[in-house]
Amino acid sequence: MASYNTSDFRKGLKVQIDGTPFSIIEMTFRKPGKGAALYECKLRNLLRNTIVDRTYRAGQTLEVADVTEFTAQYLYRQSDSFVFMNNDDYEQYELSEDQVGNFARFLKEGMDCQLMTFNDLPIAVTPPKHVVLQVEVAEPTAKGNTATNVQKPVKLETGAEIGAPPFINSGDWIRVDTRTGEYIERTTEPEEKS
């Protein structure tokens, strides 16, 4: 099986430790006065989403993880799972609520995401950084309320509730950061994909 030497270690590299896929999220090189160089790594377990710290000496190797990433379209929700389709071969994959995570509240049918599989089983989905969604419910704001950074709760077409500026009304289209769940800007209706 293919492997990475410590000199290949870098952020974002997918490795396999004891049959489990990990992603290197941080790597620090350290050369003590005596002995071999050390590679201190922070690794994210891609199956459990936990973080571990490991230190490797120069010359050690780790197996390459059999991880594949591709663009997949969100199709629909089925009880406690979310169904995605590979845009290339039209194969469908189901992910649990835990695998989709907090991003589930911004999922809209037809949306393209990055799907990650390990040994052909889906393990994670990465949403687009920003999504354009329509505001379904926005309470009117009291006149004269012009304080800066005032936000009011709005409900989006996906059911998510976020804070938005007072000038946002029902029916408006807004751009939302999927990583933080924060309002970015008011925008026009998104173009339909052909």
pLDDT digits (tens, 9 = 90+) for 161-172: 999 988 888 899
* CA–centroid distance for 102 within its chain: 9
Per the CB < 8 A criterion, the answer to whether 156 and 134 are in contact is: yes
* Residue ranges per structural domain of the chain: 3-64, 67-126, 130-187
What pLDDT is stored for residue 85 in this prediction?
94
pLDDT in tens, 28-84: 998 888 888 899 999 999 888 889 999 999 889 999 998 899 999 999 998 889 999
**CATH level 2 (architecture), domain 3-64:** Roll (2.30)
The string of pLDDT tens digits covering residues 99-118 is 888 888 899 899 999 999 98
Structure tokens, 44: 């994210």
> Measured over all CA atoms, what is the biggest interatomic distance in the chain, rounded to whole angstroms?
70
Name the CATH superfamily for 67-126.
Answer: Nucleic acid-binding proteins (2.40.50.140)
Q: Are 74 and 107 in contact (CB under 8 A)?
A: yes
pLDDT over 60 (residue 192): no
67-126 against 130-187: fold identical: yes
* Per-residue model confidence (pLDDT) at position 191: 63
Q: Rounded mean pLDDT of 75-97?
A: 91
Residue type, 65: A
Lookup result for tokens 């406690």: 80
User: Is there a contact between 60 and 51 (Cβ–Cβ < 8 Å)?
Assistant: no
Tell me the Cα Rg of the chain: 22
Give pLDDT, residue 55.
92
Structural contact between residues 85 and 91, judged by C-beta atoms closer than 8 angstroms: yes
Q: Which pTM value belongs to this model?
A: 0.74
Q: Taking residues 144-158, report their average pLDDT.
A: 77
Residues contacting 11, CB < 8 A, separation 6+: 24, 25, 26, 27
CB atoms within 10 A of CB 159: 11
At residue 146, what are phi and psi to the nearest 5 degrees?
A: -115, 15
- pLDDT reading at 149 higher than 50: yes
What's the pLDDT band for 142 if we cut at 50, 70, 90? low
What H or E segment, with its residue span, contains residue 99? helix 97-100
CATH superfamily for domain 130-187: Nucleic acid-binding proteins (2.40.50.140)
> Among residues of the chain, what percentage have pLDDT more than 90?
40
Task: Please determine, for residue 193, whether its predicted confidence score (pLDDT) is greater than 80.
Answer: no
Q: How confident is the model at residue 194 (pLDDT cuts 50, 70, 90)?
A: very low
Check: CB of residue 126 under 8 Å from CB of residue 114.
yes
Determine the pLDDT at residue 172: 92
Of residues 36 and 14, more confidence is placed in: 14
Token pair recorded at residue 37 = 């160089």
The answer on pLDDT for 147 being more than 50 is yes
Judge contact between 11 and 26, C-beta under 8 A: yes
Comparing 41-55, 122-136, 144-158, the range with the smallest average pLDDT is: 144-158
CB 131 within 8 A of CB 178: yes
